[in-house]
Amino acid sequence: MALETSVIQDKLTSKFGESVTGFIQIKDIFSFEVAPSAMKEVMRYLKEDEELRFNFLTDLCGIHYPDNEKERQFAMAYHMHNWVDNVHIRFKSYLNGDNPEIDTVSDLFLSANWQERETYDFYGIIFKGHPQLKRILNMDEMTSFPMRKEFPLEDGGRTDKDDRFFGRTTDNN
């Protein structure tokens, strides 16, 4: 592999300092954390730097962590892929639980447009600067954000199902 993960780490820390932290290899993917304020610049740098060349945004999605402290209750996970050296990376930005906001990357990668709309639709994460931030899979009239953990899967009044066997109501550790 031509591009070592240590190179990625060194380049990012020297350029962004405290904004990028928590470098760790999880399975086959090198992962780290980026402060939401610096996320867009980090992505731009990863994409445009001549050595890093992460030219493809594979995937982005939201995650809800209601049990974390307020500042880290939402996360955006981005997967990028360098096609030249064939390296995958993933980075996450943790967002505030009451007011999740992050810059859009739809101007860096056109593919982010609908994916960000989808994330907004399901998590209510606001993408600042997105050209068309409206619901995509759910109907426009909907007011809630269904992928948040507090949103019930089914009618809570049902008595014919015992959720202990099917849901995540009990801890089975």
CB of 123 to other proteins, least distance (A): 11
- Within 48-107, which residues bind other proteins (CB under 8 A)? 55-59, 61, 63-64, 77, 79, 83, 86, 88, 90
CB 100 within 8 A of CB 127: no
CB of 14 to other proteins, least distance (A): 26
Return the number of the residue (41 or 85) whose C-beta is nearest other proteins: 85
User: Which residue pairs from 10-13 have beta carbons closer than 8 angstroms and sit at least 24 positions apart in sequence?
Assistant: 11/49, 11/51, 11/52, 12/42, 12/45, 12/46
Return the number of the residue (10 or 137) whose C-beta is nearest other proteins: 137
171 lines the binding site for other proteins (CB under 8 A) = yes
**If residue 103 lies in a helix (H) or strand (E), which one and from where to where?**
strand 101-103
CB of 17 to other proteins, least distance (A): 25
- Within 14-53, which residues bind other proteins (CB under 8 A)? 26-29, 31
Phi (first) and psi of residue 118, to 5 degrees: -65, -45
116 lines the binding site for other proteins (CB under 8 A) = no
SS3 annotation, 21-79: EEEEEECCEEEEEECHHHHHHHHHHHHHCCCCCCCEEEEEEEEECCCCCHHHCEEEEEE
3-state secondary structure of 88: strand
**How many residues sit close enough to other proteins to count as binding (CB under 8 A)?**
47
List the x/- string, 120-149, binding to other proteins by CB under 8 A.
--x--------xxxx-xxxxx-----xx--
Query: Where on the chain is the footprint of other proteins (CB under 8 A)?
Result: 26-29, 31, 55-59, 61, 63-64, 77, 79, 83, 86, 88, 90, 109-111, 113-115, 118, 122, 131-134, 136-140, 146-147, 151, 153, 165-168, 171-173
